[in-house]
Structure 1
């Protein structure tokens, strides 16, 4: 008989320090064939002879905490569809791992536990996660297989989902049943910009993850960095090694946990850092073009509100930019009202707006922006997008929150980042196209809901002691726990 495998999940990375709230409109909700289109790898040989049962998958750009009624409705629909689906052999749980819901804790464990209550103890569930997710004991117990990306930036995101599903299929076909899970949390919480796998020590740690996963007796291995911009007890690094050789997976989980702990002081920012002023000054003085600057505090792909205007306000005070002596692009600020005013003014005409600071008003509030409407375009993610030119500075305004990761994001607006002196982007580490574009690069430590300075954000619910909040803490006991089979 063909295997029947369900697919479900809710995926978002949620900063509890961002005033943004994720509503239903923030999610791409997929059901049926539309859900199946997400996984092109299901056309491969290993995936044949399987009846796939698409339930519901909802995915959002990172942002603030999810409104509870939105989570309740989406999770209830998953449970209802699961109850109506009939007997399953397995379920693929496609999540991020850092979803926060207003007034709740450990949302992924809650959803996984509810799914498990419908599946019963015998159906295998395999979870795929972002390495910036969190793995509590409750989540690790509810699922049977669990893995995460091994690259940051996440160039292996879809590869990791395929691995999670392929492991599930192979396990079901083998008849071996549930593997052991050696789980241990590591009391370290660092931002992704300090744990990029492009650099040591993360580069070597994640290389070792792959080596361990290939050992006989091991099914998979994973190390989670955890999510630094949420304030929940589960937020910390974690290791899970799965397999049938319980002694070996316990030994390897210990090895990875100790390697991560021992390296805690060695993790450094993925680029040289400075204040915005220091970064802009260095960029203008440099001969490297284009010179990229990460406006890291309001990065929408880490959970920032996307409308923090502090950086734009600072750029508007720099005479070299506003006079046109140097050129710059700032991407971007989400502000539907400002975009509407630009549309009303029309391309080539003067416009005066107050930009940003309407969701996350903390660092600056709305900033007065007076210039010429350079272009107006439509974007499937950002909605209507307007560019306002002030001298040599081009400020991108979007109707909806949008990351700027690709060259086409700029060229479709009539902008040429390769021919621009400074490109200032709300991002942390540069995604591949921007990384390859940059002749030089600095990471600006700017304010916002995903501030890189964790100590000034005000965490109070994380479990202590925790590095770097308690830098002199004693070495922890990193004894992995063999989690019980899901029941």
Structure 2
């Protein structure tokens, strides 16, 4: 290929629980267009090896905070713009590649496999000869159809995800190397796909601990095999009820025997450990977690209010945890153990607090505007400790001190993952007795701050007790929903043909 390959960038990314009543609208994706995309990703900027190796053309990407299902109107609006922009690029250029920047757990009303549907539509414009490289979250889903429509596909190898940029860069590097190393039509990699009948939450498959730690440590070793280009394991997304939701292995490369052997090896490791996956921390009811925190001599003691985790697909406005916390007599006086609680949305509550100002005593009601299945709105009287305006997610944040509890209220839901999320609100999490966050496993900043922690098994749209949620459409048998398997699962590699060939065989 004498000229630099032309590569378009497009994709929609979110993680959407079908058990959460909230809905995700188009503005939540904060779409980036054209050169805005190259600004977001430094590794494809001009002056970098990848940036100079190809002509990168941004169509549209959108990354939404996890939540409830994406409305069909939102999907059609964003997909329509992606199609229009790609058509404009294709009208005057011969396209060589597509970087498909997705998550893999996009749940859309009335669509079971949204990433496949998006790529199917894009393929109708760019054609089947264009090479597609997809980068994904390991908590995404890879259906047989999605594997067919892609040529290169990879995902994160850590949970918590500390290799996001590395994964996206790998997807782009693999694509560029494929496009520039030969003249004429690039040779398409061979793809070995293995579905595994396991569906577990990320909190039981963290790469901080075995068995996931040693399983994922095997991935880069397999890439050293002759004939193997990339290996990846998807845990799948547990809080959506779709036929595609399950664990999957995909290995790509140039030698069918090598990619098949590598894929079957990874799938075998995963299945052999299916009974060994356990929660990443001690678990308990919310009351048990509070009792343990109060009895502990080490502080700060962190508690995950996991059932309403907004970064897993929770609506973020469940008030159950805060209601339970404020009912405890230990925290009713200002001299009680210091507790930080993050967070509950209350648009009207924060406006009342802002108008009253720091230091004022206010009575406000917040939460349960979307998800009130577990508790109703919570009414509190407390002192306005701090106010912050202008946050990307929350817009307005207010800290209300009620007894010894410092409750964070927001205009819009927000995840709290960083120490500065608290210090910018004049809170000192390292000096608190207890810090309670709507999260699952602790993100690195939180993990580093925690002297000890527990995972609270609390209600919400991303309840860790998966069997209580009521999955009806996932495939069976599926661990842990089915404890007995009549036969061992078929973990043989399926060779998925290129997108310019017919997909042979039924969906599995």
Classify the TM-score, shorter chain: over 0.9
Query: 2:68 corresponds to which residue?
Result: 64
Displacement of 1:240 in angstroms is: 0.2
Cα offsets for 1:56-106 (capped at 9, x unmatched)? 001101111001111001111111111110221101000000000012210
Query: 2:342 corresponds to which residue?
Result: 331
Displacement of 1:345 in angstroms is: 2.5
Which region of structure 1 is more displaced relative to structure 2, 388-397 or 336-345? 336-345
Q: Is the 8 A contact 1:320 1:326 kept in 2?
A: yes
1:211-290 correspondence to structure 2 within 5 Å = 211-290=221-300
Displacement of 1:19 in angstroms is: 0.7
Structure 1 residue 76 corresponds to structure 2 residue 88: no
Query: 2:115 corresponds to which residue?
Result: 108
1:147-166 correspondence to structure 2 within 5 Å = 147-166=154-173
Which region of structure 1 is more displaced relative to structure 2, 32-41 or 200-209? 32-41
Q: Is the 8 A contact 1:66 1:101 kept in 2?
A: yes
Query: 1:309 corresponds to which residue?
Result: 319
Secondary structure at 1:377 match in 2? strand
Displacement of 1:224 in angstroms is: 0.1
Structure 1 residue 372 corresponds to structure 2 residue 383: yes
Displacement of 1:204 in angstroms is: 0.6
Query: 1:345 corresponds to which residue?
Result: 356
Q: Distance in 1 between matches of 2:70 and 2:50?
A: 36
Cα offsets for 1:284-329 (capped at 9, x unmatched)? 1111111101110000000100100000000001121122321000
Which region of structure 1 is more displaced relative to structure 2, 146-155 or 210-219? 210-219
Query: 1:404 corresponds to which residue?
Result: 416
Query: 2:505 corresponds to which residue?
Result: none
Displacement of 1:214 in angstroms is: 2.5
Q: Is the 8 A contact 2:310 2:439 kept in 1?
A: yes
Secondary structure at 1:58 match in 2? strand
Displacement of 1:208 in angstroms is: 0.5
Cα offsets for 1:427-450 (capped at 9, x unmatched)? 101000110000001110000000
Query: 2:105 corresponds to which residue?
Result: 98
Residue 208 of structure 1: which of 191, 214, 218 is its match? Answer: 218
Relative to the length of structure 1, the TM-score reads: 0.99
Residue 372 of structure 2: which of 335, 357, 361 is its match? Answer: 361
Q: Distance in 2 between matches of 1:156 and 1:243?
A: 22
Q: Distance in 2 between matches of 1:398 and 1:239?
A: 39
Q: Is the 8 A contact 2:226 2:258 kept in 1?
A: no
Q: Distance in 2 between matches of 1:396 and 1:250?
A: 51
Which region of structure 1 is more displaced relative to structure 2, 353-362 or 196-205? 353-362
Secondary structure at 1:93 match in 2? strand
Structure 1 residue ranges (4+ consecutive) displaced by more than 3 angstroms after TM superposition: none
Q: Is the 8 A contact 1:47 1:166 kept in 2?
A: no
Displacement of 1:112 in angstroms is: 1.1
Displacement of 1:46 in angstroms is: 3.7
Relative to the length of structure 2, the TM-score reads: 0.95
Query: 1:24 corresponds to which residue?
Result: 26
Q: Distance in 2 between matches of 1:133 and 1:358?
A: 28
Q: Distance in 2 between matches of 1:31 and 1:25?
A: 14
Cα offsets for 1:163-218 (capped at 9, x unmatched)? 00000000111225110000011010000000000100000110111111222200
Q: Is the 8 A contact 2:346 2:365 kept in 1?
A: no
Structure 1 residue 5 corresponds to structure 2 residue 7: yes
Aligned length: 487
Secondary structure at 1:170 match in 2? helix
Q: Is the 8 A contact 2:99 2:132 kept in 1?
A: yes
Query: 2:493 corresponds to which residue?
Result: 480
Secondary structure at 2:8 match in 1? strand
Displacement of 1:144 in angstroms is: 0.4
Secondary structure at 1:37 match in 2? helix
Q: Distance in 1 between matches of 2:174 and 2:224?
A: 12
Query: 1:170 corresponds to which residue?
Result: 177
Displacement of 1:25 in angstroms is: 2.5
